[in-house]
Chain A
């Protein structure tokens, strides 16, 4: 006879553990530290197992895990009292300064064929302000829909879009700056 706990374990394995890599990477995006990411990932899965009955079968298990992961991260950060109160205001200033696409379309060939591009992207992604980095991470790297990201972050859909688009623009600006510094693109004003 099958014990109810066996079915619970099996369901957990099927639905949740397949997302281990994704959760670890999201935890790393939040913490930017390997050891902290491991701790946060472990806490996330332990929490998920303890509250497994709250998961609704057929819904997005990855988004559910991301929500747990993010809530744990925020709670830990609050405990450490390392919040930077001015960050939101700084972010607004940056965001308002960027309106259109950051990169000239003709920058594409030289930039995207640069062999070190992957390293540059990973470095610049780590440097993005946290609010933007986590939305870019969830959308572009974890392939979550705007609606699922809104659920994970607990913010309106419009906030997801504005953070995502501003995060991408900041990344593109950084990549174009890199391309100019590396001589892959002409320096600003060099043809004047």
Chain B
């Protein structure tokens, strides 16, 4: 398998860890050697990494909201210490 078109078609599934082990290994081998596909791989890797970092900096629920939520849950029968 592993011609460039197939590899690029499955690149995101590969990066997402969604491919079976044998198919992932074929793609990994191809990416190591292919000057055409490797830059695309590097780009997509950095793109997904940038998404995760941007997400990590997003807001989290504030302490006042967490207090209200705990009170609401307590009211229907759970202790949230």
**B50 to A: closest C-beta gap in Å:** 6
A24 touches B77 (CB 8 A): no
Question: Residues of A contacting B57 with CB < 8 Å?
Answer: 118, 122
Known: A24-B61, A25-B58, A49-B73. A105 touches B42 (CB 8 A): yes
B39 touches A106 (CB 8 A): yes
B40 touches A105 (CB 8 A): yes
A121 touches B50 (CB 8 A): yes
**A38 to B: closest C-beta gap in Å:** 5
**A147 to B: closest C-beta gap in Å:** 9
Question: A167 CA to B68 CA in the complex, in Å?
Answer: 35
Interface size class of B (residues with CB under 8 A): 35 or more
B44 touches A101 (CB 8 A): yes
Q: Which residues of B contact A (CB under 8 A)?
A: 8, 12-13, 16, 18, 39-40, 42-44, 46-48, 50-55, 57-61, 65-66, 68-69, 72-73, 76-80
B12 touches A168 (CB 8 A): yes
Question: Residues of A contacting B39 with CB < 8 Å?
Answer: 105-106, 108
Interface size class of A (residues with CB under 8 A): 35 or more
Which one, A39-47, A57-65, A78-86, A89-97, is touching chain B? A39-47
Other-chain contact of A24, B8, B43, B60 (Cβ < 8 Å) = B60
A interface secondary structure, majority? helix
Within 8 A of B (CB), among A158-180: 161, 164-165, 168, 171-172, 175
Would you mind naming 26 contact pairs between A and B with Cβ atoms under 8 Å apart? A5-B77, A8-B78, A9-B79, A13-B80, A20-B66, A21-B60, A24-B61, A25-B60, A28-B58, A28-B59, A34-B59, A45-B72, A46-B73, A50-B76, A101-B8, A101-B44, A105-B42, A107-B43, A108-B46, A121-B54, A122-B54, A136-B51, A141-B51, A141-B52, A161-B13, A172-B47
Taking the complex as formed, is A55 at the interface, i.e. its CB lies under 8 A from any CB of chain B? no
B55 touches A141 (CB 8 A): yes
A146 touches B16 (CB 8 A): yes
A112 touches B13 (CB 8 A): no
Known: A13-B80, A50-B76, A168-B47. A146 touches B60 (CB 8 A): no
